[in-house]
Structure 1
């Protein structure tokens, strides 16, 4: 009988907490779902790292995990036996260390890919600035892109998170699929009753309730949020803007809001628990999400926000354009144009029936992209390729 083991190589590391595994919570949630749907054992090959590398982590007993955690060596062929006895390997295409897997095993490999070369280069420039070191890193990335494309051509399939990665790499694979990553389960998504309540609140004409969630760093464009609020104030639009998250720009943003006289309208709440606080807050008290992302990485934020019945107005990076194309769920404006962002929000605030239609559309579109649906589609894709 042939093996039915699924081998997964996440990009996140693991650490030890005494005799327990210290693992990324989101990775564990996904692997548990894989284990529930895959008709065999799931083996997770992970590199050992420092606990500080796992931002949202938790300690787990091995006996409580429905998948095996196996330490991975540095050399590509260190775990050859773990690859060779499997039905299929699901590897991280964004990780340079995984690109050699098709060279070291005959087991079919499917790569997950999230970022395009353009996005990687933009993220590097935004995070490090234009320096000689940045230029050298960019040159190295361009050279390694040839390895990535060669690996994808050798692989048995490709799972692309978001439209930019799918559009860039699908032609290299005989079996590509696109998905939109999310943590939102069906039970967490806004119900029809919750959508109706939000629509009623919007149509009542109260000040528009805006939200942003994410890391408060320049790469997320959060340095534009207070200038956006100032521009929106100048349009005469009544609003409040709730910002959830933490990061290096939080203090500066708070100071800027206070100095602009917007301290009562721009409210920074810090990092809050996703399930217990952020999701119910967005479902109950947010009409529109303001997305200032400058880069086109396939952030979970997009689909998770729509799942709360909250449409998006944001910069037209390639990832958001792919989301907006799914339906009447978003408005894109030119990159870095704070005034255009404010005008778009002002128009929707003035046209409440149009905003209500977008809220309904957000709730509808997200139904097809729940956490359960996405993982099921990805497992079905793997089973078709592995023929199990």
Structure 2
């Protein structure tokens, strides 16, 4: 039997799918569970995740199996498969948090008609979705079909804006895109770095000392080795630095389907003595300390405007970013007054910018402080507190407007 929501229950409908674990529980990622738990600190009521269950596990590395009888800050339940059952389960909820997507269209409309406030989260602009498609290796007709589908999906998303109690936008570009339709849209910058892990003044002072010692510039990249992350541009940037006589080390962290091509590109560009590939590290115990200690500049060749948490997380660790002019990086760089933006796809311009920074290292030091200060105001705890408060205020305002 499916029971309605408890009074003022916050229902989360994540895009992330769960799978069944060996103990019979639902498996989600630690990153997701940490976020849900943070909402629970600031929501006056229970917080429950209704997760779709996939027959296969995701490729994430931080899987955690949870059970209904565990003493967690939040509950995790299997999402009812039938729409009618799902609507029954969320009836009476204080608020429902979903994702702005055509697959949620009928649910969103039914919630509107039943007086259930829905706050949708959104990330990609139409431009970015087209860029992601262009970054793939699909043929022209397949890309065209996908773009037509995305174009129609965007029309549906904009129609849904009139049925929601609130909208949360991950990053500046999507906020700018929907603000004319939803002036009350809330913008946030995704960030997994907690306040206690943000680079301190002492951390930045030590890095500044290394930069001023004229040691080789320590470049770094971390992310999935997939076309949308632009990893195959990195060896060409390194080649440009070698040709300019720059003394540097470039460490690339990650894994994925493009790894063999990346290795080959490093060899073809003759930069094996400067560029090394490393396996992904645990985020909190490995990646964050590494960035704070051993990185001077993050090189981002993302050819599209995915609002990656990488930008704010790298800034949190006191590492400035040089990156392609995708709309997400331009947005956060403008807000943070930190970072160095180069034309999309122009690896020679990227190499020239790094060469300029190598000769003018005080620019790196200043950018590191500016980025750290911005990211500290958008750390994990502050971001989720603001988002939870927005859920509550949006639901309250929407209910008031319905009773006028």
TM over 0.5: yes
Report the counterpart of residue 37 of structure 1 in structure 2: 42
Alignment of 1:137 onto 2:146: yes
Distance of 2:87 and 2:13 partners within structure 1: 13
Report the counterpart of residue 285 of structure 2 in structure 1: 276
Give the secondary-structure state (helix, strand or coil) at the position aligned to 1:280: helix
Report the counterpart of residue 16 of structure 1 in structure 2: 20
Distance of 2:59 and 2:222 partners within structure 1: 20
Distance of 1:151 and 1:188 partners within structure 2: 38
Alignment equivalent of 2:110, drawn from 104, 113, 117: 104
Distance of 2:322 and 2:231 partners within structure 1: 14
Contact conserved, 2:67 with 2:76, CA < 8 A, in 1? no
Alignment of 1:5 onto 2:9: yes
**Residue deviations 1:237-270 (CA, integer Å, cap 9, x gap):** 1111110001122233223324544222101112
Query: Post-superposition shift, 1:174?
Result: 4.9
Alignment equivalent of 2:51, drawn from 46, 55, 60: 46
Report the counterpart of residue 69 of structure 1 in structure 2: 76
Distance of 1:353 and 1:118 partners within structure 2: 35
Give the secondary-structure state (helix, strand or coil) at the position aligned to 1:348: helix
Report the counterpart of residue 79 of structure 1 in structure 2: 86
Give the secondary-structure state (helix, strand or coil) at the position aligned to 1:167: helix
Give the secondary-structure state (helix, strand or coil) at the position aligned to 1:111: strand
Higher deviation after alignment, 20-29 or 219-228 = 20-29
Give the secondary-structure state (helix, strand or coil) at the position aligned to 1:53: coil
Contact conserved, 1:287 with 1:310, CA < 8 A, in 2? yes
Contact conserved, 1:199 with 1:359, CA < 8 A, in 2? no
Higher deviation after alignment, 28-37 or 168-177 = 168-177
Query: Post-superposition shift, 1:128?
Result: 4.4
Query: Post-superposition shift, 1:131?
Result: 3.1
Higher deviation after alignment, 27-36 or 60-69 = 60-69
Alignment equivalent of 2:66, drawn from 60, 66, 73: 60
Query: Post-superposition shift, 1:218?
Result: 1.8
Contact conserved, 2:166 with 2:395, CA < 8 A, in 1? no
Alignment of 1:25 onto 2:30: yes
Query: Post-superposition shift, 1:74?
Result: 4.3
Higher deviation after alignment, 224-233 or 128-137 = 128-137
**CA RMSD for the aligned pairs?**
1.7
Distance of 2:148 and 2:80 partners within structure 1: 27
Distance of 2:84 and 2:356 partners within structure 1: 57
Normalised by the size of structure 2, how large is the TM-score?
0.91
Give the secondary-structure state (helix, strand or coil) at the position aligned to 2:335: coil
Report the counterpart of residue 216 of structure 2 in structure 1: 207
Report the counterpart of residue 326 of structure 1 in structure 2: 335
Distance of 2:269 and 2:174 partners within structure 1: 39
Query: Post-superposition shift, 1:306?
Result: 0.2
Contact conserved, 1:316 with 1:334, CA < 8 A, in 2? yes
Alignment of 1:235 onto 2:241: no
Contact conserved, 1:7 with 1:45, CA < 8 A, in 2? yes
Contact conserved, 1:195 with 1:363, CA < 8 A, in 2? no
Give the secondary-structure state (helix, strand or coil) at the position aligned to 1:89: strand
Alignment of 1:89 onto 2:96: yes
Higher deviation after alignment, 118-127 or 358-367 = 118-127
4+ residue runs over 4 A deviation: none
Using a 3 Å threshold, how does the CA distance of structure 1 residues 385 and 256 change in structure 2: closer, same or farther? closer
Q: How many residues align?
A: 386
List gaps (5 residues or longer) in structure 1. none
Normalised by the size of structure 1, how large is the TM-score?
0.95
Distance of 1:140 and 1:266 partners within structure 2: 39
Query: Post-superposition shift, 1:54?
Result: 5.0
Report the counterpart of residue 159 of structure 2 in structure 1: 150
